Amino acid sequence: MIGWAGKIAAALLLACGIAGGAVAANPGNWDKVVAEAKGQTVYFNAWGGSENINAYIRWAGEEMKARYGVSVVHVKLDDTAKAVATVVAEKSAGKDDGGSVDLIWINGENFAAMKRQNLLFGPDWATRLPNWRYVDFETSPTVLTDFTIPTEGLESPWGGAKLVFFYDSARTAASALPDSAVELLTWAKANPERFSYPQPPDFIGSSFLKQVLIELTVDRGKLQKPVDEESFAADAAPLFAYLDRLKPLLWRHGKAFPQNYPDMKQKLADGELDIIFAFNPAEASSAIANGELPETVRSFVFSGGTLGNTHFLAIPYNATAKAGALLFANFLLSPEAQLRKQDPKVWGDPTVLSLDKLPAGDRSAFEGLDLGVATLKPNELGPALDEPHPSWMTHIEAAWIRRYGAAN
């Protein structure tokens, strides 16, 4: 006979299973996950601003349908925060099951916000995926820590990222390129209106702000901790002094900003900008392969280092298709899907897998992949600068919008 304590414990376990999916979708029983996923539709909320990425997601969705009977709907976002806001609204309305978001392409402050508000499915599903055994977590610590926040298995790594700059060698000499944020300001003075960045909170635009912040901060250890409200204005002063000097030198004198990275890419192709940047070392080669940039475009980084991180997939706590989301995340982590993703003719996004852990055939395929004429070799990418704590970006974006948001 079960006592009152046992009944209460059982009720709590049942509630957790209904609300958080801990019972319904258990990655520890993979055969059951596969069976449960069949017939489900996964609403994958992911940035939709790049056609080659959209095409890759379509391919992955077609493979999921053919192999597992799982449908994938790409909900195209221009800002990941919108998916987070949807989950927040559903929780406020008491919708703890049957949510409209099944999987989110996420990292940084959005992951931190969801983790803080207990909006993530768990615990520790990512490290129990079958394909986790191939992940390079030993030498790539950013697959375990997202913008200083421990992932604790609440999100699955999907791809690597490193801030890289691009230029057209037919118009700009390599010897004239800047080698730091300070040198970029000097270059902009000599080449007015030939550089710009997307307006925050666009992810790429905000990444540029972080790059400058890190370079101009004397005590970088401070950036690995939450913002000190009392000292924030003083801590951010060098960044905004820099941006004040840069603004009149930007494209259209800083009275307008590129919409996003694809817009910057088009402006480089059209000759409106001479230096742009992306968070993918193979992006230039991919754009060349797809006819979006001329074959004379090349890449460069700052020798002192550029921002580096990992991007992830997360499952909301109230997702409807948790089993399907687990199966899709595992497929996207497979050597097959990671190899296709890293091919610059497809996307060019770096893998999170360790080649040493792969079967010989898969390892050989990665090693034989042509990363493209404009892709820097791993030893040419320079140091990776650690992402600041997410609170820094939240504060800096808000301060940027207050200061420059009207773009005039």
Q: Which backbone phi and psi does 229 adopt, to 5 degrees?
A: -55, -35
pLDDT of residue 24: 63
- Residue bearing the bigger pLDDT, 19 or 30: 30
pLDDT of residue 359: 96
Which numeric CATH code is attached to 9-159+310-374? 3.40.190.10
Q: Which residues of 99-116 are buried (b: 16+ CB within 10 A; e: fewer)?
A: bbbbbbbbbbbbbbbbbe
pLDDT of residue 9: 35
Average pLDDT over residues 15-43: 77
The Cα–Cα gap between 265 and 280 comes to 13
Q: How many percent of the chain have pLDDT more than 90?
A: 86
Q: How many percent of the chain have pLDDT more than 70?
A: 93
DSSP class per residue in 18-78: HHH-TTTS-TTSHHHHHHHHTT-EEEEEEE---HHHHHHHHHHHHHHHHHH--EEEEEEES
pLDDT of residue 140: 85
End-to-end alpha-carbon separation of the chain, Å?
73
What does pTM read for this prediction?
0.82
The Cα–Cα gap between 184 and 390 comes to 25
Does 60 score more than 50 pLDDT?
yes
pLDDT band at 222 (very low <50, low <70, confident <90, very high): very high
pLDDT of residue 266: 97
- Residue bearing the bigger pLDDT, 54 or 7: 54
The Cα–Cα gap between 71 and 405 comes to 40
Which tokens hold the place of 88? 């927040």
For the chain, count helices (H), then strands (E): 14, 11
pLDDT of residue 377: 86
pLDDT of residue 405: 85
pLDDT of residue 21: 38
Does 11 score more than 90 pLDDT?
no
Sign of CA dihedral 350, 373, 48, 259: positive
The Cα–Cα gap between 347 and 56 comes to 7
The Cα–Cα gap between 120 and 122 comes to 6
CATH 3.40.190.10 residue ranges of the chain are 9-159+310-374, 164-308+383-404
Burial class (CB in 10 A: 0-12, 13-18, 19+), 370: exposed
Specify whether the CB–CB gap between 207 and 163 falls below 8 A: yes
Nearest CA to 342 out of 285, 399, 297 is that of 285
Average pLDDT, the chain: 92
pLDDT band at 14 (very low <50, low <70, confident <90, very high): very low
pLDDT tens-digit series, residues 292-312: 999 999 999 999 999 999 999
Which numeric CATH code is attached to 164-308+383-404? 3.40.190.10
pLDDT of residue 272: 98
